[in-house]
Amino acid sequence: MSTTPPPVLELRRLGHRYGTQPTFAGLDLTLPAGTVCCLLGPSGCGKTTVLRCVAGFERVSEGEVRIDGQTVGSAQQHVPPEARRIGMVFQDYALFPHLTVLRNVGFGVADKRAADDRAMELLHTVGLASAAQRYPHELSGGQQQRVALARALAPRPRLLLLDEPFSNLDVELREQLAGEVRAILKAAGTTAVFVTHDQNEAFAMADEIAVMHQGRIQQIAGAYELYHRPNSRFVADFIGQGVFVDAEVVSPQRVRFELGEVASPEPLRYADTGQPCVPGERVQVLMRPDDVLHDDASPLRATVQHKAFRGAEILYTLQLASGTRVLALVPSHHNHALQEAIGVRLDMDHVIAFAPQR
């Protein structure tokens, strides 16, 4: 009778503190084999310290870190980093300047007779086989990042950790390389956790995203779920862009606001509490830029207050007659002037409601 293998990584009610100051607490996370997970959050939320606790660079104050079902970190037990079968890619890549790319990649392979073969295998995987005899200073930042990834994968770690792996790269390269790194990890079947504050990197690379705030995981889900089904105001505000618009609940599955009425495919509930929305109540609805369409034929008008050109699209900040402001993402050939009144209409297929803030 076959048994299901344990998850590669489990965090069970994990907590950490510096002295009496807690860094994070009560973290639960489970990663099956082959999962790429992102810890996403603003600076100071504790995400890098979580990574350091998993790696063994920091001691756990409470709870457990388990790898392949074995406890490697708790308040009573601490397995050193070198015994955890973990690979690590640091922000600065930490390549050895005096070693060739080939020697850098093969450095951590225990069987030195097989090191060069393993290194060349991975250099082919990351597209840098032709650079095997070059030195790190002869490579671009993106190439160095791929060498660092290959070196971390060379010893066949059970788990790979990446700490802000794209922070030293140009903005234009980050999303592209995030997609490339994801493809490499998936091809290798590697389970990985990476830390970033950049949601575009998280969207491009991760299967699961754990959004952190003030030392807690607020929500764990895929990018689509986080964007369209946030479970708190923080996640709604942190992921993507949007505004909270006042509305009235007119039926168990319908709300009305200045731009019109919207039907919900299921009974309305408050996103953060799960409690039902009662007809007659005032709520605030999360409205994303893709919920508001530019439509010259619409009788509803809004005034352009701000515009941000994004190449194929323009993000407009629009003011309605009441003074409420909403966002609209419009193809860039619709280039409207500030203070120009344009037609708009709703295209919202689900409702994310929150209680009004007092």
Mean pLDDT of 214-243: 95
Superfamily classification of domain 241-354: Nucleic acid-binding proteins (2.40.50.140)
Mean pLDDT of 17-30: 93
Mean pLDDT of 333-342: 94
Q: What is the pLDDT of residues 262-289, one digit of tens each?
A: 999 999 999 999 999 999 999 999 999 9
Residue 74 has pLDDT above 90, yes or no: yes
Mean pLDDT of 140-155: 91
Instruction: Report the 10 Å Cβ neighbour count for 71.
Output: 16
Residues of the chain with CATH 2.40.50.140: 241-354
Indicate the pLDDT class of residue 2, thresholds 50, 70 and 90: low
Residue 254 has pLDDT above 90, yes or no: yes
Residue 145 has pLDDT above 60, yes or no: yes
Q: What is the pLDDT of residues 84-120, one digit of tens each?
A: 999 999 888 889 999 999 999 999 888 888 899 999 9
Mean pLDDT of 14-24: 93
Residue 192 has pLDDT above 70, yes or no: yes
Mean pLDDT of 137-154: 92
> What pLDDT is attached to residue 94?
85
Residue 217 has pLDDT above 60, yes or no: yes
For residues 172 and 305, which has the higher predicted lDDT (pLDDT)? 305
> What pLDDT is attached to residue 312?
92
Mean pLDDT of 159-169: 89
Residue 1 has pLDDT above 70, yes or no: no
- Please give the mean pLDDT across all residues of the chain: 93
Percent of the chain with pLDDT over 70: 99
> What pLDDT is attached to residue 93?
80
Residue 227 has pLDDT above 80, yes or no: yes
Residues of the chain with CATH 3.40.50.300: 9-85+157-233
> What pLDDT is attached to residue 174?
83
Residue 166 has pLDDT above 90, yes or no: no
For residues 2 and 16, which has the higher predicted lDDT (pLDDT)? 16
Residue 81 has pLDDT above 70, yes or no: yes
Which CATH fold would you assign to the domain 9-85+157-233? Rossmann fold (3.40.50)
Percent of the chain with pLDDT over 90: 81
